[in-house]
Amino acid sequence: MRKILVTGALGQIGTELVLYLREIYGNLNIIASDIAPKGPEKVLKAGPFEIVNVLDAKRINEVVEKYKPDVIIHLAAILSAVGENNPALAWNVNMYGLYNVLEVAKSNGCAVFTPSSIAAFGPSTPKDKTPQDTIQRPTTMYGVTKVAGELLCDYYFYKYGVDTRGVRFPGLISYEALPGGGTTDYAVHIYYEAVKNKKYTCYIKEGTYMDMMYMPDALNAVVTLLEANPDKLIHRNAFNITAMSFAPEDIYAEIKKIIPEFTMDYNIDPIKQKIAESWPNSLDDTAAREEWGWKPKYDLPLMTKDMIEKLSIKLK
């Protein structure tokens, strides 16, 4: 049975991924870790939790020697908008954190899954149906760390045989844990505001398309790629995956079908808008579909229905 250490386990992805993995592999086989024990009780209490700062290689090694996981899922990272406000922090956490995890994995025979992002592309990348293999000249520090991270993971596979795997996540939408400082966060906050206040002020301009995905599809992608036959993986790290591409007016219209009184206006955040415009409008995820059977279940209508149902209960 797999034993998995998750870093950044109390973030937007980590919170749901730990619960999902514990259902599949058993509570005691999933070790959640984060920089501080500040998160949902059900993650902290239902299985092992360890305080790990990914900048402390010794501490990562200590936890790996204690639990002997065969996989490290490395999620701890600084996202795009926070990273643009503090590029040094983003470089340190995203690069040295990943380097430490790869070094510990190499010494302990662990596989490593770590996500890249659509942020690994930049303004010179083909914007529509962005190919799996194409120009990657991102103009954000977050994007720079994601491209460097993809290359570092490839290096540890080719040079040391570390089984590294990863996907380029689009914006992720979920109702459990709020996102932590990304550019795509508007697509989460709009649902909360629609349910709570029936109005939302969007910081991304009308007509700005970005790839997005509902969290259940993201969780399924992690496990499917983790369990995929390695002989079939040509790309290994940083598979393009997506489920939908929409602009603010599209998600607004979908919510309005369920909450007719919902209204939205705009107050553009220039930094986040510039980041969003540097990313693709839509990805080509053929490689993931062909090499490990990637297939999303949720489109915008299905996601909107589920998000509003779940948030109507959560925010009661």
So which residues are the catalytic ones? 142
Distance in Å, CB of 283 to ligand VAH, minimum? 10
Q: What gap in Å lies between CA 94 and CA 91, rounded to an integer? A: 5
Q: Is-contact 122 136, C-beta < 8 A?
A: yes
Answer for which of 17, 75, 101, 118 binds ligand VAH (CB under 6 A) is: 118
153 binds ligand VAH (CB under 6 A): no
The strand ranges marked E within the chain are 4-7, 30-34, 49-51, 71-74, 111-113, 116-117, 164-165, 167-169, 171-173, 199-202, 210-214, 239-240, 244-246, 263-266
- Indicate the SS3 state at residue 265: strand
Answer for which of 117, 136, 240, 245 binds ligand VAH (CB under 6 A) is: 117
Distance in Å, CB of 115 to ligand VAH, minimum? 8
Please say whether the dihedral angle defined by the alpha carbons of residues 93, 234, 25 and 28, taken in this order, is positive or negative.
negative
User: CA gyration radius for the chain?
Assistant: 19
143 binds ligand VAH (CB under 6 A): no
| CB-closest chain residue to ligand VAH | 182
79 binds ligand VAH (CB under 6 A): yes
Nearer to ligand VAH, 186 or 262 (CB): 186
Answer for which of 8, 182, 216, 248 binds ligand VAH (CB under 6 A) is: 182
245 binds ligand VAH (CB under 6 A): no
Q: What gap in Å lies between CA 152 and CA 160, rounded to an integer? A: 11
Q: Give the single-character DSSP code of 283.
A: B
171 binds ligand VAH (CB under 6 A): yes
130 binds ligand VAH (CB under 6 A): no
Number of residues that bind ligand VAH (CB under 6 A): 13
- Indicate the SS3 state at residue 33: strand
Answer for which of 33, 183, 208, 282 binds ligand VAH (CB under 6 A) is: 183
Binding site for ligand VAH (CB under 6 A): 79-80, 117-119, 142, 169-171, 179, 182-184
